[in-house]
Amino acid sequence: MDNDTIVTKVNAALAEEFELEQAALVPDAKIRDDLGLDSLDIVDMVIVLEKAFDFKLQNKESLAAIRTLGDIYTFIGELRDAGTIR
Amino acid sequence: MHGERVVITGMGAISPFGQGVHCMLDGVRNNRCALTPLPKYCLEGVACQVAGIVPPLQQKCIPRELRRCMSPMSVFACLAAWEALEQSGLGRTPERRMGVAAGSTLGSPAMLHNFFEAFLAERSVESIRSTTFFKIMGHTVAANIALACACTGRTLAPAAACASGLVAISLGYETIASGREQLMLCGGADEFHLLVAATFDRLGAASHECVPELASRPFDTERSGVVCGEGAGILLLESLTSARERGANILGEVCGAAMVTSARNIANPDTAAIVDCMRTALDDADIRPGEVAYINAHATATEAGDIAEGQAIATLFGAHTPVSSIKGHMGHTMAASGALESILCVEMLRQSVYFPTRALRNPDTRCGGLRHLTAIEHAKQGPILKNSFALGGCNCVVLFDTYKP
């Protein structure tokens, strides 16, 4: 899976779940401040990403450093590189 | 009850007729039936053929951050509450303290079903959305109204099954009359689910009629039982002092209420308890039976319920006072019914008409020889008595009247 595919799939999953405008889905967008997601949404964000990329997040603490949409792309890319997702 | 006078300054409805009080009023006034055949996916395992289903709504007018915690019953309640607040002139989120009293039969049965379906399949809660519980909890309707309407007063969530909506109005009335709140959003909401329809079916109380127009026939010898429905009715109750201070348009007055429990049987209607409840409400309002101009019955078209209520009405009112039930128009909307029918009572007072029992052709004489309304009738002056009863021995009566300064 290349990086563009990751971006497309992440954006599609979050846009559908949280009814976000595509224009708002830029790498610098802060998940809480710019996209307006709160702690409940973050729980659901993990569920939709797990479903979109068919994996189970074993270490929830690894999410702690995620602040922006770009951080999510990087995080998914790292899971791909580690062989967790294909 | 002595204390603050309590008036109604806003009303909102989501009913099987659609969105808005005007929509329900138009349907009932024209004696239409809002019942429809049940979708095929609902039919498995039950004999019910017909239901009072709310037509599709524009839910996306509710912001996602509110809607994410709402099952259909809370969507209905939110839209109804906003309609009531807009009519009151306070706007959807009044910048003043306001309480809420709103009930439902259950938290969302569909969401509970979904939770256990996922959990039992996976033996894990990892796929459960964070908002699932907020749709299942017992006070889901009240909590969602509070959030959507910025209520900062008390949250009351009466769970009295089919009487919940009227019990909520009664609680709101008591709260304002005692001076504890100035404004209360009151009512009930429910969403159709097989669990409730199947329960009535198991109790032998559900209609099996497949022609929607003939499925719900309160007081008629040909009735075949209750037709389950869904919806939400919300009334804004306000202290007369508050309504006068802000120059609100007063739609009607709540002049008395009572709740009486039958401790004899959890399922059977109880004539003595109904008589006691109506008498207690009349005493609360300081009204004699002969002064009541019209009775809006609970009458769900079950044999036991119609007879018990009819005999109770006959005991107190004889054949003197006109009686009708709205269940023939839109079935039994469960926790919403007491509130939706209260809204119609207030509209009947405002429009000086009484709506009939739809499809009533041969009144069952075992119901006590009442003065049934079978056609729309011009109203006379005087208070309206509204009944709601529920499984669990819950009986509630509220009296409404035109506001007189």
Q: If pLDDT is split at 50, 70 and 90, which confidence band does B46 have?
A: confident
Q: Which residue of B has its CA nearest to A51?
A: B127
Fold agreement (B7-252, B255-401): yes
Query: What range defines the domain where residue A54 resides?
Result: 3-81
Q: If pLDDT is split at 50, 70 and 90, which confidence band does B39 have?
A: confident
The yes-or-no verdict on residue B321 having pLDDT over 90 is yes
Q: B190-222, pLDDT tens digit by residue? A: 999 989 999 999 999 999 999 999 999 999 999
Whether A11 is in a domain gets the answer yes
Chain A residues touching residue B129 (CB < 8 angstroms): 43-44, 47
The yes-or-no verdict on residue B41 having pLDDT over 90 is no
- Residue B129 touches chain A, beta carbons under 8 Å: yes
Q: A10-53, pLDDT tens digit by residue? A: 999 999 999 999 999 999 999 999 999 999 999 999 999 999 99
Range in A77-86, B10-19, B310-319 the model is least confident about = A77-86
Instruction: Please enumerate in sequence order all residues whose Cβ is within 8 A of that of B371, keeping only pairs 6 or more positions apart, or say none.
Output: B319, B320, B321, B322, B323
Q: If pLDDT is split at 50, 70 and 90, which confidence band does A63 have?
A: confident
State whether A44 and B126 contact (CB < 8 Å): no
Range in A77-86, B2-11, B148-157 the model is least confident about = A77-86
**Assigned fold of B7-252:** Peroxisomal Thiolase; Chain A, domain 1 (3.40.47)
Mutate to test the interface with A, among B59, B65, B69, B128 (most CBs of A within 10 A): B65
Q: Which residue of B has its CA nearest to A39?
A: B130
Mean pLDDT along residues B137-142 = 98
Number of domains chain A is built from? 1
Mean pLDDT along residues B327-332 = 98
The yes-or-no verdict on residue B44 having pLDDT over 90 is no
Whether A21 is in a domain gets the answer yes
Q: Which residue of A has its CA nearest to B126?
A: A47
The yes-or-no verdict on residue B126 having pLDDT over 80 is yes
> Which of B3, B22, B5, B6 lies closest to B14, judged by CA?
B22
Mutate to test the interface with B, among A41, A46, A59 (most CBs of B within 10 A): A41
CATH entry 3.40.309.10 includes domain B255-401: no
Among A40, A50, A56, beta carbon nearest to B131 = A40
- Residue B122 touches chain A, beta carbons under 8 Å: no
Q: Is A12 helix (H, G, I), strand (E, B) or coil?
A: helix
B63 to chain A, minimum CA–CA distance in Å?
A: 10
- Residue A55 touches chain B, beta carbons under 8 Å: no
pTM: 0.96
What residue segments make up the domains of chain B, in order of their start?
A: 7-252, 255-401
A22 to chain B, minimum CA–CA distance in Å?
A: 16
Q: How many CB pairs under 8 A join A and B?
A: 20
Whether A32 is in a domain gets the answer yes
Mean pLDDT along residues A55-84 = 89
- Residue A16 touches chain B, beta carbons under 8 Å: no
B130 to chain A, minimum CA–CA distance in Å?
A: 6
Whether A86 is in a domain gets the answer no
The domain that contains A68 carries what CATH number? 1.10.1200.10
